[in-house]
Amino acid sequence: MDMGQVGALPHGGCCRTALSAEDKAGRDLFVRWCRDAGCEIAFDVVGNIFARRPGRDPARASVATGSHLDTQPHGGKFDGIYGVLAGLEVVRALNDAGVETEAPIDVVVWTNEEGVRFGPPLAGSSAFAGVTGVELVHAAVTLDGTTVRQDLETTGYLGSERPGDRKFDCFVEAHIEQGPILEAEKKSIGVVTRVQGLRWLRVTVTGMDGHAGTTPMNRRRDALLAAAEMVLAINRIARETDEWARLTNGRFIVEPNGGATIPGRVVFICDLRHPNTAALESLDQRMQAAMRGIAETGGVGIEIERLMDKPPVTFDAELVDAIRRSAQQLGYSCIDMLSGAGHDAMNVARVAPAGMIFVPCKDGLSHNEAESAEPEHLAAGAQTLLQTLLERAGRSKLP
Ligand SMILES: [Zn+2]
């Protein structure tokens, strides 16, 4: 709730887009809390924050947890923030109990998970996993016209550590579910086994600007008309594929966007998701073929670019077992789940065993100011996280 005051919005939500003044204030607060809890703080060159609770054996790879503190423009108090603060709570609980672990524990804040103020989303964890180059992240231009490198300097979060130099024994991310399943099934814990794959296509349809009053209907090359037909056609393909396919056209740019001019150019984004790589590829191909067919019939040009391709991720079986076992030993009801959303853990899974713990959120609502979660569920997730991390880190002294 204290973190929720930073960048607070009128309806209970938060706006802390990555590396904004509000995000800096949230980061500063987190760092202060971690220092108070005895953690050593480090940043890497893309601003990822690592708060380390030292272990008895400094040579051991760290047992890591965390998530993100940045939010959507109308974000909630819990998306990302819960995972970071659950990690801090693990540190505080170990301090309170006087437990020393063998391996160090790192609580991580990944930079720019949401990708609102600049792209790409999941930037910090992508750089850490070597999926995106540091130079690319630094050169990204924010909505305020600054570069990310400039913002890292002004906020004071430009570190010297190279992303990925730090080795993790494992990474466990706690997160609100952002969907309705746990609430409907009346379960406290979701043990995430897989994250579905995600692709972004940018489609540019080119027709010809023209006068709305003087151009006969049969002489038009209306880019919006063709794009609208494409959206209907590809949504039909997605619906007819299976229950897992997801397609969203959430961004549409119409040019010149004048009421009396036939639209000459339209750019839109296809956000395409499926848990199975072959099915995702097949969806992608069928949609592209349908759109090209419509462009040809409509006499408009079409260009399709793939902006992002995140393959489906299967989390580490041993770590997933450890999470499930922890939840069960603590007496929490749990189910295995697929994550519909992308998370930093899917990047980290490329370089270390990774897993996720989901907790229910009210009405499955997220990316919304009304986002909410019950204290008992948040506590259950943090307790499961503690037990899992403790098993991996090894305790050398009983409380
Ligand atoms: Zn998130």
Q: Is the pLDDT of residue 343 over 70?
A: yes
Confidence of residue 83 (pLDDT cuts 50, 70, 90): very high
Q: What percent of the chain has pLDDT above 70?
A: 99
Alpha carbon of 10 to ligand 1 centroid (Å): 21
Distance CA 158, CA 169 (A): 25
* Whole-number pLDDT of residue 396: 62
Give the chain's mean pLDDT. 96
Alpha carbon of 68 to ligand 1 centroid (Å): 6
Instruction: Assess contact for 254 and 264: CB atoms under 8 A.
Output: no
Alpha carbon of 224 to ligand 1 centroid (Å): 33
Alpha carbon of 122 to ligand 1 centroid (Å): 9
* Whole-number pLDDT of residue 370: 95
Instruction: Assess contact for 374 and 382: CB atoms under 8 A.
Output: no
Alpha carbon of 160 to ligand 1 centroid (Å): 26
Mean pLDDT of 233-256: 96
Alpha carbon of 196 to ligand 1 centroid (Å): 15
Could you write out the three-class secondary structure of the chain?
CCHHHCCECCCCCECCCCCCHHHHHHHHHHHHHHHHCCCEEEEECCCCEEEEECCCCCCCCEEEEEECCCCCCCECCCCCHHHHHHHHHHHHHHHHHCCCECCCEEEEECCCCCCCCCCCCCHHHHHHCCCCCHHHHHHCECCCCCEHHHHHHHHCCCCCECCCCCCEEEEEEEEECCCCHHHHHCCCEEEEEEECEEEEEEEEEECCCEECCCCCHHHCCCHHHHHHHHHHHHHHHHHHHCCCCEEEEEEEEEECCCCCEECCEEEEEEEEEECCHHHHHHHHHHHHHHHHHHHHHHCCEEEEEEEEEECCEECCHHHHHHHHHHHHHCCCCEEEEEECCCCHHHHHCCCCCEEEEEECCHHHCCCCCCCCCCHHHHHHHHHHHHHHHHHHHCECCCC
CA-closest candidate to residue 113, choices 167, 66, 62, 55: 66
Confidence of residue 219 (pLDDT cuts 50, 70, 90): very high
Alpha carbon of 198 to ligand 1 centroid (Å): 15
The Cβ of residue 141 has, within 10 Å, a number of other Cβ atoms equal to 13
* Whole-number pLDDT of residue 380: 98
β-pairing verdict for 210-211 and 189-195 = unpaired
Q: Is the pLDDT of residue 399 over 60?
A: no
pLDDT in tens, 20-61: 999 999 999 999 999 999 999 999 999 999 999 999 999 999
Alpha carbon of 69 to ligand 1 centroid (Å): 8
Alpha carbon of 246 to ligand 1 centroid (Å): 19
Alpha carbon of 129 to ligand 1 centroid (Å): 18
pLDDT in tens, 88-121: 999 999 999 999 999 999 999 999 999 999 988 9
* Whole-number pLDDT of residue 381: 98
Confidence of residue 397 (pLDDT cuts 50, 70, 90): low
pLDDT in tens, 179-212: 999 999 999 999 999 999 999 999 999 999 999 9
Mean pLDDT of 244-252: 94
Reading the block at residue 387, the tokens are 């037990």
Q: Is the pLDDT of residue 144 over 90?
A: yes
Q: Is the pLDDT of residue 398 over 80?
A: no
Alpha carbon of 54 to ligand 1 centroid (Å): 27
pLDDT in tens, 363-395: 999 999 999 999 999 999 999 999 999 999 998
Q: Is the pLDDT of residue 308 over 90?
A: no
